[in-house]
Chains A and B, each alone.
Chain A
Amino acid sequence: MNHLMQFSSSLQGYLAVGAMLFSLGIFCVLTRKNAIGILLGIELILNAAAINFVAFSKFRTGLIDGQIVALFIMLIAAAEAAVALAVILRFYRLKQTIDADEASIMRN
């Protein structure tokens, strides 16, 4: 238990959590048919990245830069979520579904 706690507050712990979130995010993106589900996965991936930046900032560099980048990631995620949801709504209005497989009209 102690060992685990030691690990959890180390750099490796942060990285491990980040990697897990990242892979779950990818899994989510790849498997969900629902466009909103895909969006959830993307949010996870972005958060995983943010965690890594913050971790490096704390355990290695001791500079504010990592946190700044994490902040930017959040902002971009927010923007992306807004646009993506707008697109989904639009798509829903067009097709009465949000199944991503239906979004293949680009295929020509």
Chain B
Amino acid sequence: MAQQALLIALFPLCAFVIQALFGKKLPRHGDFVSVLAIFGSFVVAVPIFTKLLTQGHVFETFQVTWMALPGVEASGKLNSAANIVIGVLINNLTAIMLIMVTLCASLIHLFSVGYMHGEERYHLFFAYISLFSAGMLGLVLSDNLLTFFMCWELMGLCSYLLIGFYYKKPSAINASIKAFMTTRVGDTMFFLGIAALYYVFGTSNFMELYKALQQGAGHDVMIAGFPALTFIGFMVLMGTIGKSAQFPLHVWLPDAMEGPTPVSALIHAATMVAAGVFLLIRMFPLLEASHTILPIVAYIGAITAFLAALIAIVQVDIKKVLAYSTISQLGYMVMGVGVGAFAPGFMHLITHACFKACLFLCSGSVIHSVHTQDMREMGGLKSKMPITFATMFIATLAISGVPGFSGFVSKDRILGGALAYSMEHQGHYLIPLLGFATAGITAFYMFRMIYMTFFGHARDEHKHHHAHEQPVTMTIPLMILACLSFAIVFAGPTGIESIDHMMPVKWFDHALEGAQHEMGIAEHLSPEAEAIHHHAHGLALILSLAVAGLGIFISSITYLKHILKAETLKKMAGPVYPLLWNKYFFDEFYIGILIQKGLLKFNHFLAVFDDKVIDRICVDGWRDITMGVKSIIGRFDDVVVDRIMVDGTADVTAGGGWVLRQFQTGKVQHYLVLTVMVIIVALFYANLGLK
């Protein structure tokens, strides 16, 4: 089965090759190739998933030697210790990820057919997006960090290409290079983490890593002055921070909205950015073993979630709101992993992928219809676009944490985990605090978006007039994704555990338990801890319902009923508002200070240094030295010194025609004189030596 599973990644890869080479000549510019390929992947992924559902557990591996690097043992025999082995790992996590990615990708492909219709470079769009799907699926299938990283980077490339898809637009290409470079900061460090992993464990295979960790390997190794596990853990975290747009490398994701909307849905909401969280989950045993990293993870997540949510409040671009909300939700997942709520973190990854993809596609549908992204120019679209409205509303309920929807289940569990963590570890009260605050803010800005877009009166009559519902290829994906936003898909009818625990089938929890067992992190809580957890989850349920309700309430009275003026809120915020509007001045700091004042100045300095100091002074400067000798000797003999020393010696040693052009006579005999002098010196020494 593992070999067949490779097809899941290979289908889109083949589609990419076909599209890139022949796409332009195919009928319909070959969009069907990509769509069929990803549906093929979905079809292959389904049996794996059904196996998980029916048997509760899947585990398959398949490995090949990719690079044989023979080493020699002391006895002189060749060995293969350094060989690089890659392969496919299919376990519960993989199976869930596969079905999620293939499903979302299929739907988004389908949506793109309508959305991108008639665009220039239509075939390339599908080529890139197929390559992306191949990368993401390859990443999910990888059983080792090396291929994981390769796919990771491949996705980075596709992200770059797709953000810069409208390559004539300066803002788009700036955003694309920013995205690539910012994530590459994290990627580079992630790669160092992989190298360190190789050094410590001699492998990057996940299963072997888990086994080694269970045996307690790696605790006594130091790297560059740090404990190895902490070093690796930190580097892996940096990878996540780059890819999942966590604070402080979150700046690229909002700009990435320059890409076409399906790209935002697929890459910058559902899959690629979630890959960072997936990485943390895959590496969880290592993070846990290092002890120092997990709190950092939790804080990074909590801070990101909170800061991004705050910015989202003031955004007026519908896609930017969603972008910041994505950052914020990713922060939740990271926080969940950080507080040890590993399963809820993963669950949130999946649920978020579904409802965020839905939200993005809905926003795409709106944008496609009214040709603007500015929410201030929308309004009152509810009647014009009923399906879009309904699906988007469902997804909004899900992300806001309303019971009965998927987002509620996962978010509530994360918050419960965070609360339990702060109860167990005194002093970490900031984490749940930020978490709950974010939950409220999320509900607020999401409903703000819904109200501004669909309710009220039309603010731009012209645009409103032309608005229309989208064709069926675009609405079907919306509906399917909206269906997946209900809690029942993942947990139970309401999502509230105490009510739902009679439900016989809780496939998700079973699958995750299996996965945890496999990783060697199966929880065996002490009775006290059990009690704390139970208590915390109960408290979290009440609190999260309360804050979400509060958020929705404020949003409603402000943007729906206009009882509270948005202007009043703005005034109340005081100096915070400009801070949020300018996104905490991160861009100014990175681009203005670090890059322009720092890096580019330094580059320029080095280039000048290279040209003027090393080349001109150190190399060509021999001329000046000989010239200096000349002036010391003075006018000893015009003929000898000026014409011969300078013309001859200086130029030859000077090492450059710059000198030759200025001082050289080009006369044979002057060189000969020099030659003869050398001969004399040589003979003189020969005489000395022969004595």
In the complex they form, whether A and B have CB atoms below 8 Å apart is answered with: yes
Residues of A within 8 A of B (CB): 26, 29-30, 38, 100-101, 103-108
Complex formed: what's the CA distance from A32 to B667 in Å? 12
Tell me whether B669 is interfacial, beta carbon within 8 Å: yes
* 17 extra A-B contacts, CB within 8 A, seeds A30-B669, A30-B673, A107-B665: A29-B669, A29-B672, A30-B672, A101-B667, A101-B669, A103-B666, A103-B668, A104-B665, A104-B666, A104-B667, A106-B666, A107-B661, A107-B664, A107-B666, A108-B657, A108-B660, A108-B661
Tell me whether B472 is interfacial, beta carbon within 8 Å: no
Interface residues of B in 636-691 (CB under 8 A from A): 657, 660-661, 664-669, 672-673, 676
CB distance from B275 to the nearest CB of A (A): 60
Number of B interface residues, CB 8 Å?
Answer: 12
Which A residue's beta carbon lies closest to that of B669? A30
Which B residue's beta carbon lies closest to that of A31? B669
Complex formed: what's the CA distance from A38 to B664 in Å? 21
- What 9 pairs across the A-B complex have the smallest Cβ distances? A104-B666, A107-B666, A101-B667, A107-B664, A106-B666, A104-B667, A100-B668, A30-B669, A26-B676
Complex formed: what's the CA distance from A38 to B676 in Å? 14
A residues less than 8 Å from B668 (CB atoms): 38, 100, 103
Beta-carbon contact of B660 and A30 below 8 Å: no
B residues less than 8 Å from A103 (CB atoms): 666-668
| Binding site secondary structure of chain B | helix
Count: A-B pairs, CB below 8 Å = 30
Residues of B within 8 A of A (CB): 657, 660-661, 664-669, 672-673, 676
Complex A-B: 20 CB contacts under 8 Å: A26-B676, A29-B672, A30-B669, A30-B672, A30-B676, A38-B668, A38-B669, A100-B667, A100-B668, A101-B667, A101-B669, A103-B666, A103-B667, A104-B666, A105-B666, A106-B666, A107-B660, A108-B657, A108-B660, A108-B661
CB distance from A108 to the nearest CB of B (A): 6
CB distance from B370 to the nearest CB of A (A): 69
CB distance from A69 to the nearest CB of B (A): 20
A residues less than 8 Å from B657 (CB atoms): 108
A residues less than 8 Å from B673 (CB atoms): 30
Which A residue's beta carbon lies closest to that of B664? A107
B residues less than 8 Å from A29 (CB atoms): 669, 672
CB distance from A12 to the nearest CB of B (A): 15
Complex formed: what's the CA distance from A102 to B668 in Å? 10
Complex formed: what's the CA distance from A13 to B119 in Å? 97
A residues less than 8 Å from B672 (CB atoms): 29-30
Complex formed: what's the CA distance from A30 to B648 in Å? 14
CB distance from B604 to the nearest CB of A (A): 31
Which A residue's beta carbon lies closest to that of B663? A107
